[in-house]
Structure 1
Amino acid sequence: MDEYEYVDTRLFNNSNDSSQGHEDFLQFSKFFLPCMYLVVFICGLLGNSLVLVIYIFYQKLKSLTDVFLMNLPLADLVFVCTLPFWAYAGIHEWVFGNIMCKTLLGIYTLNFYTSMLILTCITVDRFIAVVRATKAYNQQAKRMTWGKVICLSIWVTSLLVSLPQIIYGNVLYLDKLICGYHNEEISTVVLATQMTLGFFLPLLAMIVCYSVIIKTLLNARGFQKHKSLKIIFLVVAVFLLTQTPFNLVKLIRSISWEYYTKTSFHYAIIVTEAIAYLRACLNPVLYAFVGLKFRKNFWKLVNDIGCLPYLGVSSQWKSSEDTSKTCSASHNVEATSMFQL
């Protein structure tokens, strides 16, 4: 949780903002951000739990993509489970003690980094699967082994870069009890790490890899091409729209401290933060439900729990399953790799 989410009213003593405007902001932040936390928590909990259930009980880990898509919802799920604590603290104050403060800051940060690094790996994996399709298919077993090593390395790396929050996180009183880290030097290091691993690295990977993928798809033949391009643009657009505003605000704040004394700037912080957290809800849709195999397993789950007859889609599901089997048997490796985008 970012330390500047909480506002020390002493910062506004020399501000040109009216006291009434500041009071309005406090009331807005007291309800807006906790409400958004709870929305992201509920949607993220349902979506990521569903993905995990399908991967555990229905979809065997047969490819490197499956390994990454198993770890992504796990990271997002643990991430959203910390949000109710921050929601309560936003409405009232931090009442969970110093140890819980350090623990939740660590869990929150660990899974933030893990999620972003896995998104980067998924981007690179898609690049290899499309641009080097034949080689990737012939080395599936080797890629699976490397994928598990990479995922383990991501979790370990994320834990290491989360240590500053765990070590220096504590509970302080600033108008109310808050949980955060309040060392200026540590805040600078944390911000630089978040910007690098949590934004610029995934963004650079998307720009480079998806540019080459798009070029490859435009020169390829197959009915999946246009659908794959739409998915690519959607993935990049969602990442830019959800992550860029918050990271831009954080960057401005680190460069010009005078913005931090303006009430309007704090509105920008909490609104863009809420938008950024929507990624935990959107990741299951963008990275799992777009896949044909995953959707088929989803309908199997719905059928097994007895919901399919009530939805009135039993015959359509069976027809879709038969069609997908016929299609999958007729497509070559390259087309299948492109379709999994």
Structure 2
Amino acid sequence: MRPQQRNLMYLLGREVSEDMSVGYTSPTSNSSAAYEYPFYPGLDISCDLENIPAFASTFLPVLYSLLFVTGLVGNALVIWVLTVFKKVRAMTDVYLLNLAISDLLFVFSLPFLVQYSIMSQWTFGNVMCKIISSAYFIGFYSSTFFITIMSVDRYLAIVRSVYALQIRTTAHGVISSLALWGVAILASAPELIFFQETNDNNQSKCTPHYPDSNNGWKTFSNFEVNILGWLMPVGVLIFCYHSILKSLQKCHTQNKYKAMKLVFIVVIVFFFFWTPVNIVIFLDSLRNLYVIDDCQTSRRLDLAMELAEALSFIHCCLNPVIYAFVGEKFKKHLCEAFRKYTRFLLICKDCGAFNGHSLDKHSSLHTASSQSSFVGTVL
């Protein structure tokens, strides 16, 4: 069986083994010849996979193009404000800057995905095949890691405030960020090693080629995504934000409920956008292990992979909104940036709420100031 035609990001780039896999093609391919007719040993039938619905051939490239533009603009704004106006002076700023860089690395793969989807072949060479696939996974892991450590940072600042005074420094933020980037790069090493450009019926493909014939590496990679990219972060998020909510209930400020609502949004958004793709990845692992071996389920699983993956891409565009633009201090610096470099002051119509007099007046009250700072760690 020839190597399967696959979307570069299909199931985060996982290759189905030759002896039992379900054939798959990019959702943008309209040629039924692109599909294989694999043999299912357990069912003793041939599985004639149907084309993924035609709407995907136009819907996904348009969606990925929109996500690229919004993700690029949103995360670039965060980096611009943090480096030029706000400056990176605290651990939270370090994590927010690295999260924006991670998301940018993630979205930079989208133009290549759009081109690969439209043309149904890889035209950038073997080196770019390895670079783009690795960048995608490094961005995926690092983004998840920085969302997780930002939750830990908020937990320390609110629940363990005394201990936080010793470790919530810029230097510690830089060191921990470098460590997380190192883990993300190591976790993405299989993609750098196994992804390569191949020629299939005079068409170039960028696909992973694992050294074994029993799906060992593919299954390992799937479980690696499930554990490092979902299970561990979800556990940390639940613990941290549950503790934060308990502490916020004791706080008496006007922003209390706004902060609590933001906590719920962070957790719900992460669950909504990352749980579906991780469920599909887990089911794909079961297919690799022959637990799932019927044709109809495999057809549905192939389509579910495409839709769940498209859903997960949206999260990188929402991170600037969730972690930066809703913050009052960040909005202040963003408005100052637009006020200085543009004449479109309508963008900053609510900047008056952030004048120095109101901040000084608010800080004159010790109790109110400490509680505002307490809530401000979340916001």
Query: Given the superposition, is the C-alpha separation of residues 66 and 236 from structure 1 closer, same or farther in structure 2, using an over 3 Å criterion?
Result: same
Map of 2:299 onto structure 1: 263
* From 59, 64, 72, the counterpart of 1:37: 64
1:3 corresponds in structure 2 to 13
* C-alpha distance 319-211 of structure 1, shift in aligned 2 (>3 A): closer
Provide, for residues 159-216 of structure 1, a one-character-per-residue CA deviation record: whole Å limited to 9, x for no partner. Answer: 1111110011112355643212132322222212111111111101111111111111
| Cα RMSD after superposing both structures | 2.4
Q: Which residue of 2 aligns with 1:191?
A: 222
Aligned AA (1:57)? V
Number of residue pairs matched by the alignment: 333
2:317 to 281, 295, 300: 281
Secondary structure at 1:307 match in 2: coil
Whether the 8 Å contact between 1:134 and 1:333 is mirrored in structure 2 is: no
CA contact (8 A) 1:61 1:67 kept: yes
User: Do residues 159 (structure 1) and 193 (structure 2) align?
Assistant: no
1:117 corresponds in structure 2 to 145
Tell me, in whole angstroms, the C-alpha distance in 1 between the residues paired with 2:295 and 2:131. Answer: 28
Is 1:336 paired with 2:370? no
C-alpha distance 300-164 of structure 1, shift in aligned 2 (>3 A): same
3-state SS of the aligned residue for 2:254?
coil
Query: What does residue 244 of structure 1 align with?
Result: 275
Distance 1:56 1:143 in 2: 17
TM-score by length of 1: 0.89
Report matched runs for 1:1-341 at 5 Å.
1=9, 2-4=12-14, 6-7=24-25, 9-11=35-37, 14=45, 22-23=50-51, 25=52, 27-92=54-119, 93-136=121-164, 138-139=165-166, 143-173=169-199, 176-183=203-210, 184-256=215-287, 257-258=292-293, 262-309=298-345, 311=346, 316-322=350-356, 323-328=358-363, 330=365, 331-341=368-378
> In 2 relative to 1, CA 254–58 (structure 1 residues): closer, same or farther, beyond 3 Å?
same
Q: Deviations over 1:124-149 (max 9, x none)?
A: 0010011022442x336x63221111
Look up the match of 2:28.
none
- Assess, with a 3 A threshold, how the Cα gap between structure 1 residues 228 and 318 changes in structure 2: closer, same or farther: closer
**Which segment is superposed worse, 323-332 or 298-307?**
323-332
Q: Which residue of 1 aligns with 2:29?
A: none
1:329 deviates by 5.2
Residue 288 of structure 1 aligns with an amino acid whose one-letter code is A
The CA deviation string for residues 87-122 of structure 1, in whole angstroms up to 9 with x for no partner, is 101111111111110111111111111111111100
* Conserved? CA contact 1:253–1:260, under 8 Å: no
**CA distance 1:33–1:258, shift in 2 (3 Å):** farther
Q: Which range moved further: 183-192 or 203-212?
A: 183-192
Q: Distance in 2 between matches of 1:154 and 1:88?
A: 31
Compare the two structures and name the one with the higher helix fraction: 1
| Structure 1: gaps (5+ residues) | none
Q: Deviations over 1:258-297 (max 9, x none)?
A: 3676333222111110111111100000011121110000
* CA distance 1:329–1:115, shift in 2 (3 Å): farther
Normalization by structure 2: what TM-score? 0.81
Q: Equivalents in 1 of 2:327, 2:361: separation in Å?
A: 16
Please say which structure displays the higher CA radius of gyration: 2
Q: Give, in angstroms, the shift of residue 218 of structure 1.
A: 1.3
Contact 2:75 2:101 survives alignment (8 Å)? yes
